Amino acid sequence: MELVERNSRWETVGAGIAVQPNGMRVLRELGLGASAEQAGSTIRRWPFRDQHGAILCDVDLRAVWGDADPFIGIERSRLHETLVAGAARVPCRLGLGVASLRQGDRVVSIALSDGTRAEYAAVVGADGIHSNIRQLGFEVPPPVYGGQMAWRSIADIPIPEMGSS
């Protein structure tokens, strides 16, 4: 196992992230679930509110996910710290990108931007919406803007008690 990161140093981008139960299951398998849970907060409900704080709808995430792992809200920097600490014993190569990728029957062969080549049982791309790994590994068109946008923010607004009108 090896980590390859295109940035030359570990950086955190963004403010927060919601790690859904399937992501928490992966973190748990990697031995990082408890650390992520401790660094974040369990999200049990997902209320959607208007600009005045009135509830438009309220999703009970326990009903949606059942007995799956928890849904965790966590600062990106805290999740990043958890991931970097969990990978402390894994060889890391910073400042490199994947230049080519070829999937065989049992291995994935890659060439890195420094010209080195390697073979792996699996390659996982965590490189965003304009994923280089997706473009190299699959014949799919790039994502296109669908005409919708969502804004998230943290605002100091009075929140009515749940169940009150």
Residues 21 and 73 in one domain: yes
* pTM of the shown model: 0.72
| 115 and 47 inside one domain | no
Identify whether residues 79 and 109 lie together within a single domain.
Answer: no
Same-domain check for residues 65 and 126: no
Q: Which two tokens stand for residue 40?
A: 């974040």
Count of domains for the chain: 2
The span from the CA of 24 to the CA of 28, in Å, is 6
Tell me how far apart the alpha carbons of residues 121 and 34 are, in angstroms, rounded to a whole number.
27
CB 112 within 8 A of CB 99: yes
Which residues sit opposite 118 in a β-bridge?
110
| Tokens 């929140």 found at | 159
Q: 73 lies in which domain range?
A: 12-90
How do the residues of the chain divide into helix, strand and coil, expressed in percent and rounded to 5?
A: 25, 25, 50
Q: Are residues 84 and 108 in the same domain?
A: no
Tokens read off for 62: 């326990």
> pLDDT tens across 15-66, in order?
888 899 999 999 999 999 999 999 999 988 888 888 787 889 999 998 998 8
C-alpha count within 13 angstroms, C-beta hemisphere, residue 88: 6
How many angstroms separate the CA atoms of 135 and 1, rounded?
Answer: 22
> For residue range 118-129, what is the model confidence (pLDDT) as tens digits?
999 988 888 888
- For residue 155, pLDDT over 70 is answered with no
**Residue 164 falls within a domain, yes or no?**
no
Q: Identify whether 67 is part of a domain.
A: yes
Residue 5 maps to a domain: no
Backbone conformation region of residue 27, classed left if phi is above 0, alpha if psi is from -120 to 50, else beta = alpha
Question: Considering the chain, what percentage of its residues have pLDDT values greater than 90?
Answer: 45
Q: Is residue 44 part of a domain?
A: yes
Check whether 164 has a pLDDT greater than 60.
Answer: no
